[in-house]
Amino acid sequence: MLTDTSPLEAFIDALPKVELHVHLVGSASVPTVLELARRHPDGPVPADERELRAFYEFRDFPHFAEVYESVSSLVRTPEDVATLVLGTARDLAAQNARYVELTVTPYTHQRAGMPMPAITEALDHAVREARARHGIRVAYIFDIPGEFGAEGARGTLDHALAHPPEALVGFGLGGIEQCRPPHRDAFRDAFRAARAAGLRSLPHAGEMTGPETIWEALDGLGAERIGHGTSCLDDPRLVAHLRETRIPLEVCPTSNLRTGQVASLAEHPLPRMLEEGLFVTLNSDDPPMFDTTLTGEYRVAAEVFGLGRADLAALARNAVAASSLDEAGRRAVTAEIDALAAG
């Protein structure tokens, strides 16, 4: 176990980072959620800190999705949206993150009564403020909530095409994977249109279902990156394909533990994914809900999986390479990582 003064821990703290898999609502800190719960006392979320932390003890992924939806129901105004973005930017900047691709599920905010242009205006404002206040670049991925099927796909696509934020770079698909099959064609159509508009295909897949969901993401949705993807190891042909094509996998170890996808961190497949030569990035997913941070995930990689400085720097470089940063941005962050690793 690392100590508080461990040189490796200090290296992790100083490591320039990129976050590719973090959700807007799931990134809300406990104080922010408490503020929203007190502001909207008719909501289903506890306004007491101890009760809220107990509320975040998840039985399984469906229970997590239920809690997530409850917290999302507290986000009712464009100001709430901007506050969440800026909170995430502040928290990540404090961890030496230089860039984040923040997953937003605009359809849930539309259902809460927010007009698309107002949501977009809040997102654009937050990008500018995050750069000015915290020195971090923010981009967005618009995520279909899979449980809402074709309706969610249409609503998300309409927003992405008609009122896209300036920093919108990707189109995603989340939620409970078992709900997807009846809506496969609707999801495929939405991704086809989003990709035609220049957005990257960045769906979740293979977190709570098997390799078939990853294959569908690749073949049906044209995925350029896979959110989670941990079940890929169950299919040697898929592992070989991912290795050959260098499709990045956004791995979130603590998330998988907290939602019951693995029994313990020691049993997490990340080490084997690295042994197989897969293109892995480290991410935090819903950090306050899972009692983690992006830095915390790098510490897990060191403490639990035994990765050293070179391995951790390689994971940080992978995140830069897999990102939607412009070439100059990629070079700048990579140079920072290289300088720290060389020192």
Least confident of 56-65, 85-94, 242-251: 56-65
Residue 226 has pLDDT above 90, yes or no: yes
Residue range 98-124: mean pLDDT, rounded: 96
Question: What's residue 2's pLDDT?
Answer: 54
Question: What's residue 41's pLDDT?
Answer: 87
Q: Which ranges constitute the DSSP H helices of the chain?
A: 7-14, 30-39, 49-55, 61-72, 78-93, 106-111, 116-134, 149-162, 184-196, 211-219, 236-245, 253-258, 270-275, 287-290, 294-303, 309-322, 327-342
Question: What's residue 137's pLDDT?
Answer: 98
Question: What's residue 4's pLDDT?
Answer: 56
- Give me the domains of the chain, ranges plus CATH numbers: 7-342 (3.20.20.140)
Q: What percent of the chain has pLDDT over 70?
A: 99
What integer best gives the mean pLDDT of the chain? 94
Q: Are 183 and 175 in contact (CB under 8 A)?
A: no
Question: What's residue 54's pLDDT?
Answer: 87
Residue range 134-156: mean pLDDT, rounded: 97
Q: Are 75 and 81 in contact (CB under 8 A)?
A: yes
Q: What percent of the chain has pLDDT over 90?
A: 79
Residue 3 has pLDDT above 80, yes or no: no
Residue range 305-313: mean pLDDT, rounded: 97
15 φ/ψ sector (left φ>0, alpha ψ -120 to 50, else beta): beta
- Cα 211 from chain centre: 20
Question: What's residue 61's pLDDT?
Answer: 78
Least confident of 24-38, 81-95, 175-189: 24-38
Tell me the whole-structure pTM to 2 decimals: 0.93
Residue 207: active-site member = yes
Q: What is the pLDDT of residues 126-143, one digit of tens each?
A: 999 999 999 999 999 999
Question: What's residue 65's pLDDT?
Answer: 82
**Catalytic residue (choose from 207, 216, 297, 336):** 207
